[in-house]
Amino acid sequence: MLKVVCVVDKTGTALDRLAKGVAKYHNNLDYQVLAVHPKRPDGEQLRAFEQAAKDADIIDWQYYRTAELLKGMYLWLNRKKQILTHNNPYSITESNWNNYDLNVGNNQYIYKQLSSITEKPVEYIPLTVDTDFWTYNLDWAYDERVNSNNKYEFKHESPKPSVIMVANRIEGKKGILPVAIACAELDIKFRLVGNISDMNYFQAIMATGPVEFHENISDEELRDLYYKSTIHVCNSQDNFESGTLPILEAMLCGVPVLTREVGHVPELYNGENMEILKGVPEDVLGIQSKLQEMLADKKKLSEMRDKAWNSAKVRSFERRAYLYQKLYRKVLFPDAKTVSVVVPIYDKPEVIRKCLNAIAEQTYKNIEIVVADDADIKNYETILDFSKYVNIPVRYIETGEGDYGLARARNEATIESTGEIIVYCDQRIVMEPNCIEEFMQYLKPKVWLYGDKGGKKEFVENLSCVYREDVINAGMFCERITQYGGLSQETRVRIRAQGMKTEYVPTAKAIASKSSNRNTKRQDIIKSKNRLFKMYEAN
């Protein structure tokens, strides 16, 4: 299994939470998150890093200071494939970053700046949060509804308004004190969540009035505070934040946001989903004015919640993990197109192993395997055992629903694949070592290739190769074919009607390690053919 070591700065930081959040979507990789202090790493951290990094295929650095420190300590790291993600706009000019195979900017400003100074590839992957956890508050006190007379009224009596600020470090650059003063002047409850970095600054904040301070709280407790709050404020200095993640959390929870145009705010803001502070962070009067304006228009405040959620709903850990997996393959094989081999499986572990072993032995190396298990009794242990001994990503998904689900299995695996090209290989097909390489010689857009399993036949997709984009745009496989004997014909007729071609590649060879089900499925074949007749021929 492909081994990736993801290195963050400290345990519990935003970067650590971000890395661990995407980890559950990297179950096709050996993915390990390690925290190494960027200035004072202890012996245990260094030993853990050395042990993991020496065996890693890719080092995924999430903090530049830690990366630069360890690269200076361990020269052998220069032989490793490395990705550096830039989470700080102020660090971009500290180097040209050409000693990394690929650089990532987590907002458009960072991405554009990196692209102008580095010769190596640069990619844009936005910050994300756990969209399954930060869920919308349906019972927000300021929501309005339309009554029988088409007039707006509130669900219930509105409570005293409150403002929440969430900071990883409580320090001057976060602009917390001016917000605390503005809330005190307006008699608005002020909630502050974070860790004290500057004690004098913290004490000045607490002196403004009855500040409700929360430190070292759980995500569940933070979510509850979002639900109780009227407005979330971010007042950080320019060129300091790349996020912040709390803005996304608040938007998903349905808390209207007031923020300065920092970090990813310019690419999130659409004119309606948040309010923007135009002044300097120290502008207390400007903050007061904006808060008063927002609280005075409760209808607009209520509508902003839904518009904010619509903007934040696409910033999920699952998407971030998917994009990073594509980057890992790009770093390992910068000049080769990415191939995903889709293998629907059902039964007979010995047959499955023969198929997978032949894929792992292909001469074309930039591949991943996506296994779709459509059986009632799952084959997870077989796939797990196989994945331990190969150096390629192996994703396993369960698709079985107790029916003939071949189309569904292929479709689900196609969606989960990260390759530019899909090779379909059913479990009974054992490819010759150069099969994929031969397919790649003939691959063209809008052409669906199929291979040789013992002589030329009409197009059958169980050993085939096609651009992922083309097969998705064509509608993938028809899940209305619920019995054996019609899937190839339906696919063939439909894609040709859409202008795609099929082409036989005699040098892309394989053998069938198990005979087909044709003889035992004759009645199913008749039913499938009758359905296809009604779909395509009886017009």
- How many C-beta neighbours within 10 Å does residue 230 have? 23
Residue segments in the chain with a per-residue pLDDT below the cut of 70: 141-159, 514-521, 538-539
Q: What is the DSSP string of 359-406?
A: HHT-S---EEEEEEE--SS--HHHHHHHHTT-SS-EEEEE---SS--H
Tokens 């004490």 belong to which residue? 203
Q: What would the CATH number be for the domain defined by 333-537?
A: 3.90.550.10
Instruction: Please tell me whether the overall predicted TM-score, pTM, comes out greater than 0.75 for this model.
Output: yes
Cα 225-89-107 angle, rounded to 5 deg: 70
Query: What pLDDT, on the 0 to 100 scale, is given for residue 154?
Result: 47
Query: What pLDDT, on the 0 to 100 scale, is given for residue 539?
Result: 57
Assigned CATH topology for domain 144-312: Rossmann fold (3.40.50)
Whose CA is closest to 375, among 417, 412, 404?
A: 404
CATH of 3-124, one of 3.40.50.620, 3.40.190.10, 3.40.640.10, 3.40.50.2000: 3.40.50.2000
The H or E element containing residue 494 is helix 487-497
Q: Give tens-digit pLDDT for 18-53.
A: 999 999 999 999 999 999 999 999 999 999 999 999
Query: What pLDDT, on the 0 to 100 scale, is given for residue 538?
Result: 60
Rounded distance between C-alpha atoms, residue 272 and residue 300, angstroms: 9
Query: What pLDDT, on the 0 to 100 scale, is given for residue 483?
Result: 80
| List of residues 6+ apart from 389 with CB closer than 8 A | none
Rounded distance between C-alpha atoms, residue 85 and residue 101, angstroms: 11
Q: Give tens-digit pLDDT for 196-227.
A: 999 999 999 999 998 999 999 999 999 999 99
Query: What pLDDT, on the 0 to 100 scale, is given for residue 129?
Result: 96
| List of residues 6+ apart from 521 with CB closer than 8 A | 483, 484, 485
Residue range(s) in the chain whose domain bears CATH number 3.40.50.2000 = 3-124, 144-312
Taking a C-beta distance cutoff of 8 angstroms, is the pair 327, 123 a contact?
yes
Residue range(s) in the chain whose domain bears CATH number 3.90.550.10 = 333-537
Query: What pLDDT, on the 0 to 100 scale, is given for residue 143?
Result: 60
Whose CA is closest to 123, among 324, 329, 321, 339?
A: 324
Rounded distance between C-alpha atoms, residue 459 and residue 444, angstroms: 16
Taking a C-beta distance cutoff of 8 angstroms, is the pair 84, 67 a contact?
yes
Tell how far CA 372 is from the center of its chain: 20
| List of residues 6+ apart from 479 with CB closer than 8 A | 407, 408, 411
Taking a C-beta distance cutoff of 8 angstroms, is the pair 107, 86 a contact?
no
